[in-house]
Amino acid sequence: MKAQTQLRFDHKGEPQNSRGFAYNLARNSHWTVLISVGLAILIWSLVNKWGNLPAFILPSPAAVWARFVQVLLDGSLLRNTLVTLSEVLLGLFIGSVLATLIGYSLAKSSTLERILSPYLVASQAVPTVAIAPLLVIWFGPGMSSKVIICALTVFFPILVNTIIGIQAVPASLHDLMKSMRATRLQTLRFLEVPAALPVLFGGLRIGATLSVIGAVVGEFVGSDRGLGFMINVGRGQFDTALVFVALFMLILMAVLLYSLAYAAERHVIRWKPNGNQ
């Protein structure tokens, strides 16, 4: 008799072969990122070397690394990074909570949506960088104005995703909950929130990246600390290496926040099928 191939399961009840495939896919993705970064640094070095560009136009990767080590050792990079990160997290939290609450209200009330939607859409016609100076004047150059600017930046994408997610719940499922005599709170908890979670997390991932932009815009307008302040200092002193260091820290911050939002989505929505299945 021929030996039959058995599908083995791990302690979580998942097929080991599918877990191995996911692990290999993640490992390959990490290698892809490393290769892409290494290739970008190589091209950067070649352009800097063959183009014979001055340091204030395009510093070499070695010069940027040396500047990174310098500001890391003197503590200025950590201090300014923590300031920007605090503004981003507070702004993201406040903007997400307000957008979710208002979005749910608009999704459940067509009258309220007709009344407020024109104002919400019109508010997006004004760029954040245009109203940032007013907010700094009104709320001062401290952290408050930066948090407000950050919250305004992430508000609209999360609001739209909340409305779409709640309104996308099938009416037949609402009828089913009514037939089971579910209360409004039970319908929200057991139907609307689980059904809308994929869309809600999509808005959160977008907001996580936009929150960094909002905080930096506020720091550009008026601030004496933060990564945006470091970019202003580097620009004023033609210290392009310092500008690159601050930019790379902002990119790293945005990537980490996006990854955390994605990891939270995968942890919470375990029933959502993977794209490779």
Q: Are 72 and 79 contacting, i.e. CB atoms less than 8 angstroms apart?
A: no
Domain span including residue 261: 56-268
| For the chain, counts of helices (H) and of strands (E) | 11, 0
Give the tokens for residue 105. 């209200």
Q: Are 87 and 218 contacting, i.e. CB atoms less than 8 angstroms apart?
A: yes
Q: Walk along the chain (277 residues) and give the pLDDT tens digit of each residue.
A: 444 444 444 444 444 444 444 445 445 556 676 777 777 777 777 776 777 777 778 888 888 898 999 999 988 899 999 999 999 999 999 999 999 898 888 888 878 878 888 888 777 777 778 888 888 888 888 888 889 989 988 888 888 888 888 888 878 777 777 778 777 787 777 787 888 888 888 888 888 888 898 888 888 887 788 898 899 888 888 888 899 999 999 999 998 999 898 888 888 776 555 544 4
Q: Is 244 domain-assigned?
A: yes
176 and 234 housed in the same domain: yes
48 and 65 housed in the same domain: no
Can you state the percent helix, strand and coil of the chain, rounding each to 5?
80, 0, 20
Q: What is residue 15's three-state secondary structure?
A: strand
CATH of the domain at 121: 1.10.3720.10
Q: Is 123 domain-assigned?
A: yes
140 and 180 housed in the same domain: yes
The Cα 248–Cα 153 span in angstroms is: 21
Q: Is 8 domain-assigned?
A: no
* Tally of structural domains, the chain: 2
Q: Is 207 domain-assigned?
A: yes
HSE toward the beta carbon, residue 11, CA cutoff 13 A: 0
142 and 251 housed in the same domain: yes
Q: Is 1 domain-assigned?
A: no
**pTM passes above 0.85:** no
